[in-house]
Amino acid sequence: MTQPARKPSRIQIENRQRIRDAALGLFATHGFRGTTLDQIAGACGMHKPNLIYYYDSKEAIHIDLLNTLMTEWLSPLDAMDPEGDPLEEILEYIRKKMEMSRLYPRESRLFANEIVQGAPRMLPHLERTLKPLFDQQCKILEDWMAAGKLARMHPAHLIFSIWAVTQHYADFEAQIAVLLPGQDRFADGADQFVETMFRKLLTP
């Protein structure tokens, strides 16, 4: 009789999280190719053999981080309600995307680095998870536009534009720090500017 899998202990859960946190910072800064298991082990205060007990390769850590990120990253898009007020649904999505850029800049850069490299580890996930959701939400936008509830435009490029604008505040954090020295990158009404821009664009 097959024994049920044992649940990980509290220490095991904590150690996996330590590894993930350390790897996230390194991957976001140096990319997948520029990061080594030795660097990850040093950053999380473990010996390399201890780290390998939890993850047998840096690719395993990277994929674990990306899979978790995809689930969290797509949840605001998935939450767009086809029965809600179209403009408010999109603006709420934009607010959530700005909040994610504020709270999770490393995660955003991790994903951006993966995509820039051609999505070698994420392509199946993009095809299985992102593509169906993207098509579904584009159809919702298309229906709203056809009903005259939103200004007419290409729904796919609208979503691309939302991603480009909101994730800029995470992916280009270092550039913003140079251009706006001594300021928080969300200072001077960044959220309000982005929301106002899309409100004017989308209002019929």
Q: What is the pLDDT of residues 135-192, one digit of tens each?
A: 999 999 999 999 999 999 999 999 999 999 999 999 999 899 899 888 887 777 899 9
Select 62-202's CATH number: 2.120.10.70, 1.10.3110.10, 1.10.357.10, 3.20.20.140.
Answer: 1.10.357.10
- List every span in the chain annotated with CATH 1.10.357.10: 62-202
Residue 52 contacts residue 60 (beta carbons within 8 Å):
no
Quote the longest CA-to-CA distance of the chain: 64
In angstroms, what CA-CA distances link 128 with 2, 22, 31, 70, 123? 31, 28, 24, 12, 9
Which tokens belong to 69? 């990120």
* Class of CATH domain 7-56: mainly alpha
For residue 111, pLDDT beyond 70? yes
Tell me the Ramachandran region of residue 176: left when phi exceeds 0, alpha when psi lies from -120 to 50, beta otherwise: alpha
For residue 132, pLDDT beyond 80? yes
- Residue 12 or residue 195, greater confidence: 195
pLDDT confidence of residue 94? 97
- List every span in the chain annotated with CATH 1.10.10.60: 7-56
Least confident of 31-45, 52-66, 173-187: 173-187
Residue type for 124, please? P
pTM for the model: 0.85
CA 153, chain centre distance (Å): 25
Residue 110 makes CB contacts below 8 A (sequence gap 6+) with: 24, 27, 28, 65, 66, 69
